[in-house]
Structures are given as structure tokens and as C-alpha cells.
Structure 1
Amino acid sequence: MKLKYYVLFFVLQFAISGIAQTSKDEVLFTVADDAVYVSEFLRVYNKNLNLVQDESQKDVDEYLKLFTNYKLKLKEAKAQGLHEKPSYKRELESYKKQLAKNYMTDAKVNDALVEEAYNHISNDIKANHILVRLAEDASPQDTLVAYNKIRDLRKRAVNEGFEIVRKQVHNGKTVFGEELGWFSGFRMVYKFEKVAYNTPVGEISEPFRTRFGYHIVKVFDKRKARGERTVKHIMISTKQGDTSTDAETRIKDIYTKIKQGETFEDLAKEFSDDKNSAPSGGLLKPFSSGQLSVPEFEEAAFALQNKGDISEPIKTNFGWHIIKLENAKPIGAFKELKPELEDKVKRDARSQLIEEALISKLKDKYGITNTDLSYFKTILNEDFYKRTWKLPEDFKGAAPLVKIGNKQLTNADFGDVLLSQQKRIRGTQSFDKIVEDAYNSFLNTNLKQYQEEHLEEENKDYAYILGEYRDGLLLFDLMESTIWEAAKTDSVELKAFYENNKANYFWPVRVNAEVASSANKKVINKVAKLMKKNMPTDDIKNLVNTNGEVNVIFTKDTMATTHQALPEKFNISKGVSKVYKHNSGYIVANVSEVLPKKQKPYEEVKGLVMSDYQTHKENVWLNQLKEKYKVVVNNDALKRVKAELKQ
């Protein structure tokens, strides 16, 4: 599925909505009998200009080729009837519902919650809590027992001390007394978070309920959030077969070289086992407090205060690290973080408050008034609790119940809901509550459904995006059935493609080598002489690394010329190399074996071959589509488009 969504993101760059164009639009080109208008092309080109990575695609002619290819594929998809497939319709409906959520909200409530969330992430809280566990669907009797218990515990905590009571009552089953440490917004369930932030330092909250049960929380401290850190690191992992001290010794040697004045970034490039960050001098993506799953690393990073500060070696589950602070960034401005916070609020329990505000707004919009439910309350009986209840024979199903816009809902519609509701009822709720709860759910569902059904008519942005999804999904199905699946199953053609393109799949020339690195040219010259005398590496290290100083570090590996330890113009030959300047230091390599360029077997490169074959197959297929569906470009219109885009 990840592949699917990646492809959709790409193809949607060239997708356009199916909204009809006005007759005054000028035709830019036609695919068979289908016209593509200038306005369509300009809208898509301008929309995606900043998304295009390849500069050549910003050229109008090149972009027109991509857009034409897209239209050809879309024409073929519809010709194959892929838009009628049940799976396509289901997928589109799923996207439609997900997309509609972004347009079905109450802006005022949403903005208030986003502002509150910003305040919470801008401050950290240190707190502990006591929880009396209680199921969400607990009976009124059990609920009262739990509430009375947490209320009594609060009284004890006030009189005896919160921590004393917390430790005494914790049993890990029905009562939990837990240390929470520092946390900020979105780290706890919303109800808990809100109470914690509203409780003054040193105070104990009143009892409150979450989905876990009843809590009281004591807030010990509050502080401004620590913001974000950007760091570089050098990592030495503990490899299989190493002794427990090998990695530690190596990281301490590197740390000594840093203290001796060698460049952190160059050492990271040459020695760090984090291959993702090593090429950039150990640079990691920015992170905030609580974001990493490596607390030791996080605490060491946040302990660094000034740009350029370097930590001592620290140990984590990944190995040993040295950390250098690149940037300490405080919490961003509200305007900067607002889009991210809006997304989090919609996925958080806060969304329930937005939902309630939306329903109230829709009731006003569609003129919904209180509905008389007395008839339904009279037709329920004890069978409902047994899940055997049925609508009476004289049920007034055709009678109107409530009207939403131009959609009339009847007693029969709500009667069906009540029939299904009895399967969910637990305990013996009153008939009045059963009917009222069921009706509220029924009404809310129908209000949102009615708005969603008419959203495309009311909201142009929603209509455009839905159109893009509609065409993007269609194109994905076409590519999957025509190119991707065919390439996977056509093993004979795949093997033939490999045989015809063997020159593209080989191992480059590599060496088995031991590389010595030093910031001091005299030292590396000395090492080179000792290498030529076949002195063992450990003896060289003992001779050169004296008085606690690390003057040389050795790296032993099978290396291509692109290996981080080798300079760009390294001469591949057996024996001890000349001394090279590399990064801000010098290296010499002792090459024990030169491995010649070697053909990669088919089984080793099958995935890469398949990718190349798919590209080849798609190009051949596109040429066939151009023959099947004639493309005619209106050159006069194209000239006017180019002139407009140059303005």
C-alpha cells in the first residue's frame, strides 16, 4: 500500500478535476475526441511548478509532454472501463470520506483548540497521578463506587501527602499511582492533558474521568518547553564479534582526536557507522524533547547550550556517540506551527469538541428543531434488553420524522436504527435514554452525510481535489494492471531484458584495504614507511599513538573508490599507496587485494532489473497509445500559453 500512495502523490501532480470547462475556453490539444483546455493546463502547471524537481519539466514543452502522456493514460483507463470496477469505486469512496473531513468542521472551535494546543506544547509539566481504573461502559453503580474512591483518595492526599498516598495505594491492577515525569501537549490523552495544564504548581486536581477511569493529578513543576535541537553525531556501533570494549575504545580515540583539534565533520565522514548521516558530517534531522526513543542521546543533546559544543562519548542501545550542537531552536511562532497543530487536533480526542460544534452549526443551517420521540419511547418493551425486540405490526413507518435540507427522513429510517441498537445495549438503561441516545446518533450521522453529499456542489476547492483523487486512483489501477503486475509476472521477458542490458549491472573495481588516517602529514608518512615494512597494525598504533594522543586511526574494509575513507582520485593498485590529502587530513592505504569489475548475477539485481524493465515497458506502451489515440496540439494556443507564463 505504501507504493500505492507514493505513486498517487506523483500522478496527482498531473491530475485535473473533471469539472466542466466553459465553452469560451480555448482548446490546447485533443486526445482522440477529448478536448483539453488552456485553463486546465495553466492551472495544473502553475499549481505544481514548485513541486517539480527536474528543472527540465518546468519548460512548457517538456511539461506538456508529461501532461499529454497523463491524458493518454487516462483515456486508456476509461476505455478499459476501469472507472466501473467495484474496487475502484470503493477506494474512491474511502478517499472521498477522508477528504471531506477536512472541509466539515467548525472553524471557531478548531482555532480555539489549536491556540490551546500551542500553549501546551510551549510549556512542559512535571506531574504524577493516581488512577482508579473503570471501564468506559461501566454501570452507574460501579461508576459511583470508583468516583467515591478517588474522592476519598484525594482527601487523604491533601491531608497525608500526595506521594505517600500514591505509593501506598498503587497495586498495578485496580489502582495505579504513577510517576509521569515531564510531558507536554499531545503526550497524554486530551482530558488528562487539559486538567494537568489547568492545575497550579503544587496543587492536586479535583477528580476527573478519562477512558481509563478516574484520576487525580498533582503538578510539581512547569517550565518553558526546551524547543528543538539540531545536532551532528559520530556513532560507533557494537558489531558482532567485537569485545565489549572495542567500540568504546574506538569512540574514545575519536574523541581524543577532536580534543587535539581535528574537525568533527571530517571525523564523522571517515569513521561514523551511521551511514545516513556520515556523508553530511554526522548531521541529523531536528528533534524536540520527548521525540526520540533514545533518552540518553536526547538528554545529552539538550545539555549542550552553545553552537559548536561537543559532548563526551555517551552510550545508548545503538552504540557509542559523540554529539555536536548545530542549532538550538526555541518553540516556533504560532503562525509557523499552526498547520501541523491543526492536523494533530483533528486526529486527537479534541476532535470530539469540533464534532459537537459542527453538529450544532448544521442543525442551525438546515433548521433542525426538537423532534417528538414519545411514540418511539412507548413502543419499546422488555424484549429490547433480550435483543429480541421487533417493530410493532401497526408501526407508523411512513410518518415523517425530520427533514434535512430536501431529504425527508421517516419513522422507518429511525426504526431500523433502533432495531440494530439493541445489539449494543448493555445493562438496563431506561427506554427514554435508549431512544434519545439512538436518535442523537441517527440525526448527527444524517446531518454529516447530507453535508458530505452536497459538499462538491458547495466547495470549489474540495471539488478540485476530489477530481484529482478520482483521476489519480484511476491511473494507478491502469499502471498496476498494464505495467507493474505484468513486469512482475513476465519472468521470461525480464530475464531477456537483463541479458540485453548486462552492461548496466556490475560490481565496480574494489579493494580489500586497510586505510590509515591522520591530521598530521609527518605521522602518516611514518605510517606509510612502517606499512611498507609489513609491520602489524597494532604495533604501528602502539608506536604512533603515544602519551594518550590518537594520531592515527585505521579502517579495514572492502572498498569501492567511492568509500568514505578513500580520496576521490585514489589509484587502485596492490600494495602501499602514496600519501593522499583527504578531507582536512591525510591517508595512506595498504591494498592487499584488487577485486576486478564483476558482472552481478541476475538473482542479485532482480529488483533493479524489474524497475528498469518497467520503465522500458512503459515507454513502449506510451508510443502505442499515441498511435491509438491521436494527439493534436493547437500551436497558436500553445504560443499564447508560453507568452503568458513568461510574463
Structure 2
Amino acid sequence: MRVCGFLTLFLTAFFVNLNAQTQKDKILFTIDNDSIYTSEFLRVYNKNLDLVQDESQKEVDNYLDLFVNYKLKLKEAHALGFDNNPNYLRELSSYKRQLAKGFMKDTKVTDALVEEAYERISYDVNANHILVKLAETASPQDTLAAFNKINALRDRALKEGFEKVRQEVHNGQTIYGEKLGYFSGFKMVYNFETVAFNTPVGDISKPFRTRFGYHIVNVLDKRESRGERTVAHIMLVNNNNSAEKAEVKIQEIYQKLKQGEDFEALAKQFSDDKSTASNGGKLAPIKGGQLRSQEFEDVAFSLENIGDFSQPFKSDYGWHIVKLYDTKLIPEFESIKSDLINKVERDDRSKLIDEALTTKLKKHYNITSTPDLSYFESILNDSYFTKTWFLPPNFIGKKTLVVIGKRTFSYKHFADYLMKSQRNPTAKAPFKTIVNNVYNNFLNENLIRYHENNLEYENEEFANIVGEYRDGLLLFDLMENTIWNAASNDILAVKEYFESHKANYISNEKIDAVVASSSNKKALKKVAKWFEKGYDVEKIKPLVNSEDKIDVLFSTGILERNHQTLPKNLAFNVGVSKILSHNDSYVVVKINEVLPKKQLEFVEAKGAVINDYQQQKEINWVNGLHEKYEVDIDEKVLQEVKNQIKNN
């Protein structure tokens, strides 16, 4: 996407796309038959007032001149057909789609989900669960059977104890009984996470469904998040033939650590964890509930001070010694809010955001009920499940199904969508269920698409931003083709302009000099004497500066009068100047040569010449636009605008 950096065109881009004018809004001026209203001018004037650096442009008359010229350029862009350029239309369409995403969200729902997510990542839940596996596309009969099964298991767990039932029923195929350990927000699918966090410690949840099937959860503990730890470890693997040796060796390594030997060096020499040994045993940062070894996690999070290391301990993987490198608590909400928003929008939670939007749009477009879909149920047959279903020859296509805003969707529209839907894998289900599900998807997709396409006519803020970009992009294309490229390419015209304006391209007077700067006036007096004696800079430096202390700074070269190191009252005369005050310090200047003003050659002044030529070309072009189009300003309305600005 191009960046429309064209402040020189007319201050900055404007909110210029209005969909309607109020009855009180008056026409400030017209360009031929196009009316420009006071509301637009006032909005633009007030919006850009603080950006205007030229005080004269804050005067309403001067500002109006700029605004009229801006509108004339847009008028010309449309007349030349720039608004029909395929690249322009494509870029504008892409921008509108990207912008619409921000306006299509229900911010209240998103904000609530983000705050909830922060609360959940601030805690860890320890839970076990039992899952009766069930496909998302399961038939109603299989769904009911799975639900009855999980209900029966919950009844057993309440009577016999969850742990006993979990171990007995787990088969790893149709029923899973698993220890989950500690986890926090975003570690499980959203509805599983929600049930786990909302179930009191010690309780067994009621049955609930995820995309994996039906679950019950037993919550064992809930604690504040341990945050994040960066640790290193030395690990010795248990070996059936030398278990005792591993324990003895880890104790010997521990003794060396207590004697002050380097942890990283010992890890590189002796750790059996080859993936970390070469890095001194250092692991990637870990969070509570992330590791499979609870023993390791507990020890890692028990270390208090950076640099502390643990006593040897045993896990299922071997013997370890752990060293603490860094600790991080959960950051403040505002510092990670944007990251949480991104996670929420990529997570299962995003479905809630989409549902909130479609619910809102149904209300907005007054869609209160589902139409009668029995006709579509009657024309479906089993060929739908083999992806070979077609519409019957006598299909009724013109009948209205649903109306969204000003658009009518017919039976044919939905039938085409229903035809395409058979491409997706679908388990056999009643035709009524299939038709209802497909219709909901059809309605939701078209609600969102229609709202996005008509957002410019329904949301004034969106319309204003799009209008700003639309006109800015159009103006950029116009200026690029009419002024900028023409000035760059027409080198003969630029040279002719240079020849007729040579007096404007004279170099400033310069000096070839050495400038000595210091806050120590006495040191500069010594430098001035050495300058007089003809000492060069490299000989003077060690006489006034040392490795430990710099008293005088030297600048050497060809310098213009406005150079930052030169005092304004410096006389451009060959020789050594007086010691002069400059920027709360002092300087003395040795001028070797004065380079007088001179006429610049075209090559030397080319950049400035092209810029001036462009400005003159634009002035002539705008004057031509004033002749081409009739501008009629209503002086009475203009006075009202001035009074309104003055009173504000």
C-alpha cells in the first residue's frame, strides 16, 4: 500500500466524504455544479488548525483559498478519470477492507474477553478430567449416547471418587481419564478452560462438550500464577545398571558447586541433557504448569535469588541440580493488553466475538426469525452426503428468502450456497438439521458482507476516514502524474527555468577554517596563540587535552555562515578571530580562506531547481484550474463561518 505523504498538497488529508447534509448546513461555495458545505470546511479547519505553522494560513480567507485549490484539484482528478484507474480502485478497496475489520468488531465483547483472559493467566488451575470421545459431526443418536455415558460416569465419580473412576475407565481410545496438572489461560480450548476456572476446588463439573467430545472436570487446586522462570540444570539420567552411581555423581557435582566451581562449565562436562549441555544447561523460560515434571517445576519455582542453585533431587527423568537465572511476574494489564487482544482474536474466544457481531447485525437489520426452510428439506436427498446432489428441474428460485437492508436474497441464492456446502465433510444427520446449520452460516456470512459493503453509508466515522484516504490517494496520483513526474522528466524545461532564474542559485559565502570550542576561556587563549604561531590542530590537541580530560573540541572544514559551530557575529576575515561567546561556551576560529558567493552551475543546483520548477508549475496549473472551473463563494455564508470561528 502506498503512503500518501502529500502534506504540501493541502496541509494534511481531510475528512471530506459526507453522506448527507443537515437542513441547517449551508453551501459555502460551488465549483461548477458541485456544492461544498460549511460543515465540511469547519471540520477541516478545526481539525488542521494546530498543524498549521504559517500563521497567515490560520486566517479564514487564506485558509479558504487553500481549501478551494484542494477541491479544484480533486475536481480535475475526477475529470481526468483518475478515480477509474484500476490500481487506484484496487488499493482503495484493499484499504477499506482492512479498515472495516476494526469497525466490525464488538469492542465491548472483546474488552470483556481480554479482561477475563488476563484474570485467567494470573492463576493456575490443577485439574483432572474424563473425556468421552465424540466427533463434532456425530449423529444425534451418537451424541445422545455419549452424553448419557458421561452423565453415568459423573454419577459414579460422585459416589466412588473421581480418581478411582478416572483410572478404571481410561482406555485411550473412546474414553480418556487424564491428569492435566496445572494450567492457566490459553492452555486449553476456551470452553474447557471456562469450566475448569469456574468449578470450585474439590468439585466435579457437570458434563460439557468441546470439539473433542463430552468431559467432566475435577478441580484439585487453584493458585496465583508463579510467573515465569529462566533456569539451567545439570541432569544425570537414571540407568538401571548404575542408578546408585548417578546419585553418587550428582552429589559430587553438588559438592563442587558448593566449593565455588562454575555451574555452566560442570553442565557442559557432565549433564546428560544433550540439548542444553552445550549451553551450560540453560532452558527456555518456563511457566507454571508447562513442564511434565511437577518435581522439577516445584524446585525451579522454589529458588528465591538469582544465582541460587538447588540441592540434588530426583524426577522421573533422572537426577537434577537447578540454577535460577531470572524471574518474571505476570506483567501489568496495560503492558500486555495488545498481545492479549491478538491472542483472543486467534483463540476459540473469537467465535464469541463473531456471534456478538452477527447478533447485533440481526437486530440492526431487523431479522427477528428464521424463515420457513421446509422446502429445502424436501428437496434434499442422500446424494448430498456423496457430494452429488443437484437442484430439481422444477426448483422455485425467485421466491424471497430473507432481506438484509436493501438487498433481497432469494431461494436461488441459498440453494447455490447449499450446493457448495456439500463439498465439506458432513456426517449423516436429519435434513432439517443440515438445512438449519447451512442457513445460519449463509445468513451470518451475508450479514457481515453486506454490513462491510455498506459501512461507508451507515457509519459516519468510517465514511470520513475512507473519504480522507480516497481523496488523498486520488490527489497523490494526480500530482504525481501532472506535476512531480512531469518536472522530473522534462529536463529541458527545468534547464530553461534555471537559465531564467540564475540569480536565485548563488552559493553562500563560506570559510575554510578550524573552530576550537571550550567552556574554558583560558584554554582557548592558549589555542589562539598557537593558531597565531601556525601550529596545526594535531600538534595543539595534546597540549590542551589528555586521555583523562578533554578541554577543547576542534571542528575543521568548509563551513557556511549558518553552521552550528560558528557564532553569528563572527567576521569572515582570514586570520585568527577573537574569543567569542557561543551557545553557553566559547570559540576561537582560525580562518584559512574566505570562499565568496558564486553562481552555481545547473548540476550543483539541480535539486533546488527542480523543486522550484515544480512549485511554479503547480501555481500555473492551479491558476488554469480557476479559469477552467467556475468557483462561486457565498460571501454571506462565509461571514457567518468567520463569526462562528471567532465566537469559538
Question: TM-score w.r.t. structure 2 length?
Answer: 0.59
In terms of Rg, which structure is larger? 2
1:357 CA drift (Å): 0.9
Contact 2:488 2:610 in 1 (8 A): yes
Q: What is aligned with 1:361?
A: 357
Contact 2:232 2:283 in 1 (8 A): no
Residue 222 in 1 paired to residue 328 in 2? yes
Q: What is aligned with 1:472?
A: 472
Residues 1:454 and 1:502: Cα distance change in structure 2 (over 3 Å): same
Q: Which runs of 5+ in 2 are unaligned?
A: 123-172, 184-229, 236-270, 291-296, 303-323
- One-letter amino acid of the counterpart of residue 97, structure 1: R
- One-letter amino acid of the counterpart of residue 350, structure 1: V
Q: What is aligned with 2:93?
A: 93
Residues 1:163 and 1:520: Cα distance change in structure 2 (over 3 Å): closer
Contact 1:113 1:345 in 2 (8 A): no
Residue correspondence of structure 1 range 212-611 to structure 2 within 5 A: 221-222=327-328, 348-352=342-346, 353=349, 356-363=352-359, 365=363, 366=367, 378-379=382-383, 392=390, 398=397, 403=402, 405=404, 407-408=408-409, 445-545=445-545, 548-611=548-611
What's the CA shift string for 1:397-422, capped at 9, x where partnerless? Answer: 95999847354376766857986997
CA distance, structure 1, for counterparts of residue 276 and residue 233 of structure 2:
14
1:526 CA drift (Å): 1.2
1:481 CA drift (Å): 2.6
- One-letter amino acid of the counterpart of residue 221, structure 1: T
Residues 1:547 and 1:84: Cα distance change in structure 2 (over 3 Å): closer
Residues 1:645 and 1:391: Cα distance change in structure 2 (over 3 Å): same
Q: What is aligned with 2:140?
A: none
- One-letter amino acid of the counterpart of residue 64, structure 2: L
Contact 1:418 1:438 in 2 (8 A): no
State the secondary structure of the residue aligned to 1:597: coil
Residue correspondence of structure 1 range 121-160 to structure 2 within 5 A: none
CA distance, structure 1, for counterparts of residue 632 and residue 542 of structure 2:
77
The CA RMSD measured in Å over matched residues stands at 5.1
What's the CA shift string for 1:147-203, capped at 9, x where partnerless? Answer: x9x999x9xxxxxx974389826389xxx9853599xxxxxxxxx9xxxxxx99955
1:531 CA drift (Å): 1.5
User: Could you tell me which of 229, 233, 237 is aligned with 1:164?
Assistant: 233
State the secondary structure of the residue aligned to 1:170: helix
CA distance, structure 1, for counterparts of residue 449 and residue 26 of structure 2:
38
- One-letter amino acid of the counterpart of residue 19, structure 2: I
User: Which has the higher mean CA deviation after the structures are superposed, 356-365 or 487-496?
Assistant: 356-365
Percentage identity across paired residues of the two chains: 39
Q: What is aligned with 2:35?
A: 35
CA distance, structure 1, for counterparts of residue 286 and residue 497 of structure 2:
60
CA distance, structure 2, for counterparts of residue 535 and residue 497 of structure 1:
48
Residues 1:360 and 1:419: Cα distance change in structure 2 (over 3 Å): same
State the secondary structure of the residue aligned to 1:590: strand
1:535 CA drift (Å): 2.3
State the secondary structure of the residue aligned to 1:567: coil
Question: TM-score w.r.t. structure 1 length?
Answer: 0.59
Residues 1:49 and 1:550: Cα distance change in structure 2 (over 3 Å): closer
What's the CA shift string for 1:2-37, capped at 9, x where partnerless? Answer: 552545995664452242435654332222233323
- One-letter amino acid of the counterpart of residue 597, structure 1: K
Residues 1:583 and 1:51: Cα distance change in structure 2 (over 3 Å): closer
Contact 1:380 1:431 in 2 (8 A): no
- One-letter amino acid of the counterpart of residue 612, structure 1: D
- One-letter amino acid of the counterpart of residue 45, structure 1: Y
CA distance, structure 1, for counterparts of residue 549 and residue 21 of structure 2:
75
Residue 637 in 1 paired to residue 637 in 2? yes
CA distance, structure 2, for counterparts of residue 82 and residue 67 of structure 1:
20
1:350 CA drift (Å): 3.5
1:87 CA drift (Å): 3.1
Residues 1:379 and 1:472: Cα distance change in structure 2 (over 3 Å): farther
CA distance, structure 1, for counterparts of residue 11 and residue 403 of structure 2:
38
CA distance, structure 2, for counterparts of residue 41 and residue 619 of structure 1:
22
User: Which has the higher mean CA deviation after the structures are superposed, 33-42 or 611-620?
Assistant: 33-42
CA distance, structure 2, for counterparts of residue 180 and residue 61 of structure 1:
63
State the secondary structure of the residue aligned to 1:562: coil
CA distance, structure 2, for counterparts of residue 88 and residue 642 of structure 1:
37
Contact 2:487 2:494 in 1 (8 A): yes
- One-letter amino acid of the counterpart of residue 628, structure 2: K
Residues 1:545 and 1:74: Cα distance change in structure 2 (over 3 Å): closer
Residues 1:45 and 1:545: Cα distance change in structure 2 (over 3 Å): closer
Residues 1:115 and 1:523: Cα distance change in structure 2 (over 3 Å): farther
1:524 CA drift (Å): 0.8
What's the CA shift string for 1:348-373, capped at 9, x where partnerless? Answer: 34334456413333145445869999
State the secondary structure of the residue aligned to 1:4: coil
What's the CA shift string for 1:253-310, capped at 9, x where partnerless? Answer: xxxxxxxxxxxxxxxxxxxxxxxxxxxxxxxxxxxxxxxxxxxxxxxxxxxxxxxxxx
Q: What is aligned with 1:257?
A: none
CA distance, structure 2, for counterparts of residue 511 and residue 119 of structure 1:
67
Residues 1:471 and 1:164: Cα distance change in structure 2 (over 3 Å): same
Contact 1:82 1:88 in 2 (8 A): yes
Residue 179 in 1 paired to residue 284 in 2? yes
Contact 1:202 1:219 in 2 (8 A): no
Q: What is aligned with 1:45?
A: 45
State the secondary structure of the residue aligned to 2:534: coil
Q: What is aligned with 2:72?
A: 72
